Structure 1
């Protein structure tokens, strides 16, 4: 986010007296630059310059060494017996980057630092510390540097102990932090923001990007630059402008001027050295990234090219990076033409040729690089540098020579150097074609009847050259300025007219909703399922679909399990979770584990979400071009490569499903709750399912898991108790149960015709109970189906209400007790009718599952 010091902005645009950061933010938001935060005036009270008179190192019992300092703070010293401020302040400091005689910044009692952090005299490490010696971070000036601030006497020659440090460091200046949208890259500079402020208020604007005098032309002896981009990204050359200038005889010890250091600090950058500070300052001012090389380390010519496989570079941050063949590089000819890599073009330079404390001759680079190349390189190497932020949003290609001259002038002025007459300027910037726009287009797209003067005047205000091509048709030809690469068509020009005339001029009109058919069948089913599960006591959650193989290991999935085939992400949010889930239960169990770890041991959770099911050997999606619309064949190939993403529903129940209390004992969740949830989902969708016992489906417990099948035998899910080893791995309560269903498959299997309501009989109900003894391995569902089919059309409701095993039944036997509810639509049932139904049900069960009526 750009930081805009008001005093700096005022050099390029006329600011009214007394302008506050809040008012500036209000003016800029009218043209689309949103306020992020206001900084400044964060330090109050006596913050002064002090000179360290003495310093005693005192080791402590905890191994830390502190400095007991006597600091002269001028008029703020402690009064002596005669009432004169001559007694220095005693201050404890833990930093070690200063010595006796150094000028430091001291916060005396009564000062309030950012935080807020009030300073007072307090006893610490056996001394009364009468203040604090401050670092940049403690003053809210950023995180740059190690230890406390040490003022350079060469930069501040007239500073004496007791000087107000608030004014000296610019801490009283207000700084506005703004949010810039990606298409407005020119606003990453004081030049761009000043221009927008002028658009908003009509204030007089002076463009610092224009040459103030005759710029030196390229010479034959200029430092040679060659562009050899044989593999441009998306067909656009990586570099079309490269300016170099040379400054010789710079004093390597010359410091950056105090005003420049203060502005860099206010803008969020750390002062480093004169050459580096000057390039950073000009970049922040104009928006043109620059780079300074130690000329003595270079071998001409400089070659701009793509990387080759296996090349490496140690960048300025000290990281050794393996380069990609799409990376655009700056190289020189040490060891052969273009053999040595100097830096990643538009992103970061290399450590080998950086400016050092002994550099006297500097080569200044001001270039223009392709937005896409820089953006991809910065993301590939995770290097969001200040230069990359600007290049990937678009930099003015006509700014390079102006910015290079500004750097040369500042180095000569403050470093004592001499500008070399040798200049190189490789310039192959293609002219931008004029855009065509109808005068009626802003009204058609914006809904406001803009006048001709408003349209033409606004476009000229932003720097366009407008020519009328056909007065009768109202056709305009618009040449856009070089600093607006985002203006590529009539729609973008219309947006500029709407933005500068005022978005508040566009009326708020609620569009008429077109007639529709309501929710789709699938949407209705999903909403009904979610509502039903919530009404039965489960809580809906939403989890991220990113997983790793380690999570599947925790669930005990076999190496050849089909759920281990997952889609791998190229740029995952986390290296540990770099794949898309193939099972909804994986992320839902992770959610359950997180809740249990935080003390919530009684859980009933469910989730509806997509899973990704790639096919092994399926063709990969092609890389699409960036600068043009993909062809229909390319889009079709992308669509064909997208794996199936069905919607699943899953649930986890742990701990107590019914809590105990004064009303009685509670009940722990068990496999029947998972089965009941499956039945509820199937009922809400309108699909009949059967449950078949299974022993080989992780992460469920063998013998306590049921496969959920459709009428054709297709398996659409599983339900039951989770395996104890899985629960141990996930730290979940014992006997936790879960279910997972393919909801899309259930919806597809549901009958499409509306469900018919059964007529309500006015005749009374008849009741019959029967208990059947079967072999223990016979599924209760088979017995249930046999009784239902044998009872016939008079059966209105059938329920299994008891399962009993015991010595009375014999070894390997169990008793299933069923409740039958009978009713006829046309008569009152007799005792003989009830007996006939009972006998038919028993006969059916005996024939199909070998059941016997229990005596």
Structure 2
């Protein structure tokens, strides 16, 4: 929210400097982002009138002008602006004037003709950032000879406030002035909002077919307006200093009232309306050409303003081109409505739009404001464009309007939260200055429970519980005036689970294996999530940041895949990413938040180099990375990989990760059909595992090292292709005895000498006795037991 300091001071003017005012607003919880001058520094520029104009004798695009600057003698100026004309009031920089950029005006000759001064454009005066095509035309009532800076009140500042979403009441000059007035105990100088006497009895019917989304709609027919009437300079400047450009008198007035009071308005060309206004939900197949020229297909359920034949506007977002005010408009229908925040939340972004109106309605607009705003806009239209207003019509569904509610406030709770005992008189004073009702007509403070009952004003959507009122007391009393005390408590150290390994250790392990950590949003695109984890449900946001961040993530896969696509599109072909974070599974009422660790790899196995292998990463590379994480806990024997199917993973290259028989994760190759749909050409491998399970390890214990030699035997067993190696390893551990210290797979062979459908699995076994040397007879007996058992269970044969 940007606003002019001078405009604010017309409402309320505390005896504070600009910076002190900004600091006070910030300390009240409305953070000031920037304070900037409304115009660059310049001096020596006057209001002048062009009294004569002739073509330059030696230049086609230049004119020789005579200007009256109030000195009594016309001043000759050579001007190249295409829009300069006799009778104009213009900004005139005299000889000796200094323009922005320390540019000093001097006498000069342009193509042999003397020029004593300069007629200025808006950009040359620092009033616009873009280069202006012509000179700045001033209103005809501008006083000749007056200092331009003083006459336009350019010694002003724009203050930009970054409001939190709950403070929609401050998205207006009225709301900000109300805050400043409360902080400084000053009353507001509000503009006249008196009802406008109707000049005729014409009304346009209104029907509320969606009263739960639009319970109040105020309208007025205003006839015989002059759309071509110029917007007064004071209004143009206030709009400019608030970040809005002037368009025409009608649009400027609706924008001005929105900035002033906080109520968005819209004006329809009455000649283009048929039969009646209806506020309803869009129907299937309906389309609308917006004021910015976009032709959009409306989704069913979108709240719209329509007449008998067509949709006129997306309610609370933007009007349509067909019914907009144009140069031919003579009669308008002025709309001032209350739309509930949930009706507008997310609608603009779902169509790729963001407007000042939707920004306000999403955060909540005072439901009692539409009538006041319509009266204010009517008065300005009559004053500026000469309209003839009809009676103000109001269509209301009282059952659906928000009600004014009471909140119980206890003095004991105030002291408990703020650590200070505020006087009762100060509490009541602060609340009443904020527009709340505290008194006999609402409920006196009672001695039994030491409490007040506070009636909340219609513009404060954010105050619903006792703590909200206490926050208001703290803001206005002053956060910096609250006492600072350390808690008096005996704080014992919490017991530390020594079996849990720190997350930093897992991170370092993945970084050491070439991964980079990614941090993605907890909100993802519903379409991408549906592709990667279609079987999981997650909460959908009512008011998302954007349409591609509309649901909570049910897995870390969507964020990593999005980051992968981003990198691939920037010529990065070797990618290794991992992420830790919460995923959200289930519906909002019963959502489960689960910490997860996920990773993704694609591209070459090794970084590019003269000695590096050029082959691509595969499933077993990823499995090796995951196994290295499992080994960190010292209990990797409780983990198992089993073949499984996942909707987003390759059916032949997918494994479910089990911990003590319970499924806790997945790893595998991204499904080829899914890669094609996402436009990914490289093979991609992903894993995901529950973090709380992964960080659980085994407490290390001391074991003395044996002084006796190890015995190593290698076995090559031929087994069927469909037998998992893990089952074979489990059998070997059972049969190898208590002195087995190491068992690992070091080769798998298929080819010549091996029957088709079988594989040769080479295993290394190591034994070591803690107190003596093992002999060959003992080892041979163990080998015989292993060969016999594997033959009986799996039909394994010892490869000769």
TM-score surpassing 0.5? yes
1:277-302 Cα shifts (integer Å, max 9, x gaps): 233323322333344445566678x6
Which residue number corresponds to residue 88 of structure 1? Answer: 78
| Correspondence 1:492 to 2:468 | yes
Asked whether the equivalents of residues 649 and 668 of structure 2 are also in contact (C-alpha less than 8 Å), the reply is: no
SS of the residue 1:36 aligns to = strand
Question: Residues 666 and 687 of structure 2 are in contact (CA less than 8 Å); yes or no, is this contact kept in structure 1?
Answer: yes
Q: 2:355 aligns with which of 385, 388, 395?
A: 385
Q: CA deviation at 1:666?
A: 7.4
Q: Does 1:443 align with 2:415?
A: yes
- Stretches of structure 2 lacking an aligned partner (at least 5 in a row): 107-116
Verify: 1:175 aligned to 2:158, yes or no: yes
C-alpha deviations, 1:382-409, integer Å up to 9, x for none? 5543334344444445555554444444
**In the superposition, relative to structure 1, how do residues 522 and 325 fare at CA in structure 2: closer, same or farther (>3 Å)?**
farther
Q: Deviations over 1:605-639 (max 9, x none)?
A: 3344677889xxxxxx6xxxxxxxxxxxxx8xx53
Cα offset, 1:305, TM superposition: 3.8
Residue 741 of structure 2 corresponds to which residue in structure 1?
A: 796
CA contact (8 A) 1:787 1:841 kept: yes
Question: Where do 1:470-489 residues align within 5 Å?
Answer: 470-473=445-448, 474-489=450-465
Alignment of 1:242 with 2:212, yes or no, is no
Structure 2 residue matching 1:796: 3-state secondary structure: strand
Deviates more, 1:98-107 or 1:171-180: 98-107
Residues 1:740 and 2:687 are matched in the alignment: yes
Whole-Å separation in 1 of the counterparts to 2:66 and 2:500: 74
Deviations 1:678-704 (A, max 9, x none): 3334434635455678999986697x8
Secondary structure in 1 matching 2:34: strand
Partner secondary structure for residue 793 of structure 1: coil
Q: Could you say which residue in structure 2 is the equivalent of 1:62? A: none
* Aligned-pair CA distance for 1:151: 4.1
Output the CA distance in 2 between the equivalents of 1:539 and 1:503. 42
* Structure 1 CA distance for aligned equivalents of residues 79 and 691 of structure 2: 76
CA contact (8 A) 1:326 1:373 kept: no
When residues 348 and 578 of structure 1 are mapped into structure 2, their CA distance, relative to the original with a 3 A threshold, is closer
Query: What are the Cα deviations for residues 743-793 of structure 1, in whole angstroms up to 9, with x where unaligned?
Result: 479769x9x9x6785843544133234454747968766775665554322
User: Is residue 2:482 matched to residue 1:506?
Assistant: yes
Structure 1 counterpart of 2:133? 148
> Aligned pair in 2 of structure 1 residues 67, 549: CA closer, same or farther (>3 Å)?
farther
1:309 correspondence with 2:283:
yes
Q: Deviations over 1:159-208 (max 9, x none)?
A: 69xx9776676654211111223333332222222222222233x43341
Secondary structure of residue in 2 paired with 1:459: helix
Is 1:566–1:579's contact at 8 Å kept on the other side of the alignment? no
Q: Say if 1:475 and 1:689 are closer, same or farther in 2 by CA, change over 3 A.
A: closer
Moved more, 321-330 or 473-482: 321-330
Contact 2:408 2:466 in 1 (8 A): yes
CA distance in 2 between partners of 1:26 and 1:378 (Å): 33
Whole-Å Cα distance in 1 between the matches of residues 21 and 363 of structure 2?
24
Return closer, same or farther for 1:391/1:573 CA change in 2, 3 Å cut-off. Answer: closer
Question: Displacement, 1:493?
Answer: 2.7
Does the alignment pair 1:652 with 2:601?
yes
Task: Please state if 1:274 is matched with 2:222.
Answer: no
Q: Structure 1 residues 839 and 70, CA, compared in 2 at 3 Å: closer, same or farther?
A: farther
TM-score by length of 2: 0.74
Secondary structure of the structure 2 residue equivalent to 1:283: helix
Q: Confirm whether residue 356 of structure 1 aligns to residue 326 of structure 2.
A: yes
Contact 2:623 2:667 in 1 (8 A): no
Check the 8 A contact 1:763/1:823 in 2, yes or no. no
Within 2, Cα distance between the matches of 1:779 and 1:307?
58
SS for the counterpart of 1:792 is: coil
The equivalent position to 1:606 in structure 2, one of 578, 581, 589, is 578
Aligned pairs, number: 759
State the distance in 2 between where 1:153 and 1:13 align.
29
Are the counterparts in 2 of residues 563 and 583 from structure 1 also a CA contact under 8 Å?
yes
User: 1:760 corresponds to which residue?
Assistant: 704
Question: In the aligned structure 2, how far is the partner of 1:657 from the partner of 1:495?
Answer: 57
Distance in 2 separating the partners of 1:707 and 1:293: 61
Cα separation, 2, equivalents of 1:30 and 1:721: 51
Q: 1:647 to 1:521 in 2, by over 3 A?
A: farther
Task: Check conservation: 1:398, 1:482, Cα contact below 8 A.
Answer: yes
SS of 1:466's partner is: coil
Partner-residue secondary structure (3-state), 1:467: coil
Contact kept? 2:578, 2:597, Cα under 8 Å: no
Correspondences of 1:96-245 after superposition (within 5 Å): 98=83, 112=100, 139=126, 141=128, 148=133, 151-152=136-137, 154-155=139-140, 172-202=155-185, 204-208=186-190, 211=193, 215=195, 222-224=201-203, 228-229=207-208, 231-233=210-212, 238-240=214-216, 242=218, 244=220
The alignment partner of 2:439 has SS state of strand
- What secondary structure is seen at the aligned counterpart in 1 of 2:736? helix
Supply the distance in 1 between the matched residues of 2:464 and 2:528 (Cα, whole angstroms).
48
Deviation of 1:264 (Å): 1.5
Partner of 1:123: none
Report the more deviating stretch, 756-765 or 809-818. 809-818
Q: Tell me the CA shift for residue 822 of structure 1.
A: 2.3
**Deviation at residue 445 of structure 1 after TM alignment:** 3.5
Q: What is the DSSP-based 3-state SS (H/G/I as helix, E as strand, rest coil) of the residue aligned with 1:465?
A: coil
For residues 412 and 254 of structure 1, what CA distance do their matches in structure 2 show?
11
Match of residue 540 from structure 1 = 517
Q: 1:819 to 1:238 in 2, by over 3 A?
A: closer
Matches within 5 A, 1:646-685: 647=596, 649-652=598-601, 654-655=603-604, 657=606, 671=618, 673-684=621-632
TM-score (norm 1): 0.70
Question: 2: CA distance between counterparts of 1:349 and 1:720?
Answer: 48
Q: CA deviation at 1:457?
A: 1.3
Task: Say which SS state the counterpart of residue 454 (structure 1) adopts.
Answer: helix
Which 10-residue stretch deviates more, 446-455 or 97-106? 97-106
Give deviations 1:566-594, integer Å, cap 9, x for gaps: 76968887778988888756654554565
**Contact 1:717–1:740 (CA under 8 A) maintained in structure 2:** yes
Matched residue SS, 2:256:
helix
Q: What is the deviation of 1:343?
A: 4.4
Change (3 A) 1:173 1:787: same
SS at match of 2:470: helix
Offset of 1:28 from its aligned partner?
1.1
CA separation of 1:223 and 1:39: change in aligned 2, threshold 3 A: farther
* In 2: Cα distance, 1:261 partner to 1:378 partner: 27
Contact 2:42–2:99 (CA<8 Å) still a contact in 1? yes
In the alignment, the residues of structure 1 paired with residue 763 and residue 118 of structure 2 have an alpha-carbon distance, to the nearest angstrom, of 85
State the alpha-carbon separation in 1 of the partners of residues 759 and 403 from structure 2: 90
Following superposition, the deviation at residue 11 of structure 1 comes to 1.2
Report if the CA contact (8 A) 2:554-2:583 is conserved.
Answer: yes
After TM superposition, list the pairs within 5 Å mapping 1:401-480 onto structure 2. Answer: 401-416=371-386, 422-424=391-393, 432=404, 435-468=407-440, 469-473=444-448, 474-480=450-456
Name the CA shift for 1:669/1:837 in 2 (closer, same or farther; >3 Å). farther
Q: Judging changes above 3 Å, is the alpha-carbon distance between structure 1 residues 70 and 844 closer, same or farther for their aligned structure 2 residues?
A: farther
Q: Distance in 2 between matches of 1:380 and 1:524?
A: 44
Distance 1:303 1:656 in 2: 65
